[in-house]
Amino acid sequence: MLNIVLFGPPGAGKGTQSEKLIEKFQLVHLSTGDILRAERKAGTPLGQKAQAFIEKGELVPDEVVIGMIGLQLAKNKNANGFIFDGFPRTTAQAEALDKLLAENKSSITLMLALEVNELELKKRLLLRGKDSGRADDQNPEIIQNRIDVYNRETAPVKDFYSKQNKFFVVDGIGTIDEIFGKLSVAIEKNNK
């Protein structure tokens, strides 16, 4: 199985690159942000619970997103592998993911971290907000909070994979195809 954590701050290009990578490597795309937005739209209790956190740019509690990922892994038992996009966002989530995968005799193959500077992230998020209508991409204060939450709570997840020698950085500035090329090379090199 090929299991990739596509990592990076909000606006780094994880969603865009995931769409291309799932096609090339025949993987299942698991984006916790997408799942939460779908739950919210459908008005489920989970979606309602998540709403307040998403609106403020705070993280949804670990047990909620871990439960969601557990369900998706169980639903896709025959997958070639997964791209985890926007998950894990805390070390507790990373530990839980290792456990869930181990239950299926599987593990993370590598974490690819897209690096983009803060100024560029803010520019991209505001542009995306205009196109998509996503409220959390339109308010500069919420954007700043999401970046701060990333730096404080999510960036340490790098160490978790670094200790397992699974952490790779890719420059997230460039054209979509250039970045996709670099990600693909890193995957092919490490998928042995």
Residue ranges that bind ligand AMP, judged by CB under 6 A? 10, 32-33, 36, 53-54, 57-60, 65, 86-87, 89, 93, 136, 146
Task: State how far Cα 55 lies from the chain centre.
Answer: 18
* Own/partner long-range contacts of 187-191 (Cβ < 8 Å, ≥24 apart): 187/2, 187/4, 187/21, 187/25, 187/109, 187/110, 187/112, 190/109, 190/110, 191/2, 191/109, 191/110
* Identified catalytic residue from 56, 122, 128, 158: 128
Q: How far apart are CA 136 and CA 134, in angstroms?
A: 6
- Cβ proximity to ligand AMP: between 79 and 142 the closer is 142
Is 146 an active-site residue? yes
Q: Which residue is nearest to ligand AMP (CB)?
A: 33
End-to-end CA distance of the chain: 10
- Cβ proximity to ligand AMP: between 20 and 190 the closer is 20
Q: How far is the CB of 192 from ligand AMP (least distance, A)?
A: 28
* Identified catalytic residue from 20, 49, 122, 134: 134
Is 37 an active-site residue? no
Catalytically active residues, by annotation = 14, 89, 128, 134, 146
